[in-house]
Amino acid sequence: MAKERKFPEGLTFGDVLLKPRYSSVLPNEVELCSRFSTNIGLNFPIISSAMDTVTEKEMAIALALQGGLGIIHKNMSIEKQAAQVRKVKRYESVFISDPVTVFPSDTIGKLMELMEHYNISGVPVVDKEKKIQGIVTKRDIIFEEDRSKFIRKVMTPRKALITGRDGISLDEVKDILRKHRVEKLPLVDKEGRLTGLITLRDILKRKEFPEANIDEEGKLYCGAAVGVSPDTAERAQELLKAGADCIVIDTAHGYTKKVFDVAKRLRKICSSDLVVGNIATGDAARGLLKLDVDAIKVGVGPGSICTTRVISGIGVPQLSAILEVSDAVKEQTPVIADGGIIYSGDITKAFAAGADSVMIGSLLAGTDEAPGEQVILEGRRFKVYRGMGSIDAMKQGSKDRYFQTGKLVPEGVVARVPYKGPVSEVLFQLAGGVRSGMGYVGATTIKELKGKAEFIRVTSAGLRESHPHDVKITKEPPNYEI
């Protein structure tokens, strides 16, 4: 008689629903803050994928401004990736601790180049000992045609300069800016040496984005990906120098000797948080915990552009993977659910299953902030979205994500997604869905959701019933794609 074999069941988002519970929580009372890793909190627990059609500086800035986090992909040279990180870190900082400076003997031509490169409108002027000599702004040079003219001729000189003392409070700064009607305030120490710069533009930005995810210096948080190639340690070091708040070892199979070896090495040199992935089992999670990682990324094959499961036969349906990993880590380290999010409801389910944040590719790839141009096809607008395991992306640098050398075997596809406009709109809809879900369960916080959530399995008839059915949709809502 044939031996009876039992297979464990693997479920994903579409296989389940969360049961509604008695609730006194309204969606707008829900708090969406969470944690990404040991030292990085989130006001909005959505992370953009480290993919070359999803996250470069524009996406990382937009995500962090909304309270989330972007992970800059690594399909570019070390220098370029570090420059991207630097730009995110420089984007918003009420207290700029290392402002760009010029000497009085520099020319207007050089100043113009710096202003354009860093997208800044004013630069403190210092001497060789960093003692403040003045300030020069766009307004001072707007009608100057002679690019060889020295800055000392056009700057606001030291004696007419309004400065703040090192360590000044934000309220004092606002008073000074208001009183003297200036837009930039250089900070100086007792010896008159420049220690920082505060700009009105940054203060206003802070007001516009109260949920922005910022570090102690008021700079936006930014993460960056590395792989497992020979230059990984050098890449990580340059990214750290550029200010990356976390290094994410981004691979298709994190439970491997190679990834563990790299993680051990980076753990020694990494002053920022170290995140490792991807994994999909409790064993792998327990292994990573021993390496003292700062967060674990979960997901083998759930991504919209992934072919890993079909070409290799490997994977764990994403909801089961999140449940198993979360059970294994027991809150000792944050869990990032990476891939497979199709609807905002899937995010609620991921949190309910134990995730602390979700990483998203396809839903963000069609936005203005994703790299790449729009393409128009039959009158509709799209953007290109490709797997990091597609041939094109692997040729660009991501083949180590799949441990490949030589002739390539793709584990992802090149695709297109509908153009969606600014990412803030997409994030608003995603947040709204999660808020609603938490309201149905009666959970004010993600932690409460984890405790209260009760999943129920649905059949294929139940799934059909869950979506609009037996009608012809005539107006597609912004949070549901047909």
Residues known to be catalytic: 306, 401
**What is the sign of the dihedral through the CA atoms of 82, 83, 84 and 89?**
positive
Nearer to ligand XMP, 340 or 439 (CB): 340
Nearer to ligand XMP, 352 or 388 (CB): 388
Containing 376, the helix (H) or strand (E) segment is: strand 374-377
Segment contacting ligand XMP (CB under 6 A): 2-10, 195-203, 215-223, 354-362?
Answer: 354-362
Pick from 411, 423, 437, 443: which binds ligand XMP (CB under 6 A)? 411
The yes or no reply on residue 412 touching ligand XMP (CB under 6 A) is yes
CB of 352 to ligand XMP, least distance (A): 18
Nearer to ligand XMP, 120 or 341 (CB): 341
Could you tell me where the DSSP H helices lie in 270-408? 282-290, 308-312, 318-329, 344-352, 362-365, 391-396
Pick from 308, 320, 326, 348: which binds ligand XMP (CB under 6 A)? 308
Pick from 63, 341, 427, 438: which binds ligand XMP (CB under 6 A)? 341
Q: Write out the binding residues for ligand XMP, residues 288-307 only, by CB under 6 A.
A: 299, 301, 303-306
Q: Which residue is nearest to ligand XMP (CB)?
A: 412
What totals of helices (H) and strands (E) does the chain contain, helices first?
Answer: 17, 21
The yes or no reply on residue 252 touching ligand XMP (CB under 6 A) is yes
x/- binding map, residues 373-392, to ligand XMP, per CB under 6 A? --------------xxxx--
Q: CA 416 from chain center: how many Å?
A: 21
Nearer to ligand XMP, 162 or 409 (CB): 409
Nearer to ligand XMP, 86 or 349 (CB): 349
Binding site for ligand XMP (CB under 6 A): 49, 51, 252, 278, 299, 301, 303-306, 308, 338-341, 359-362, 387-390, 411-412
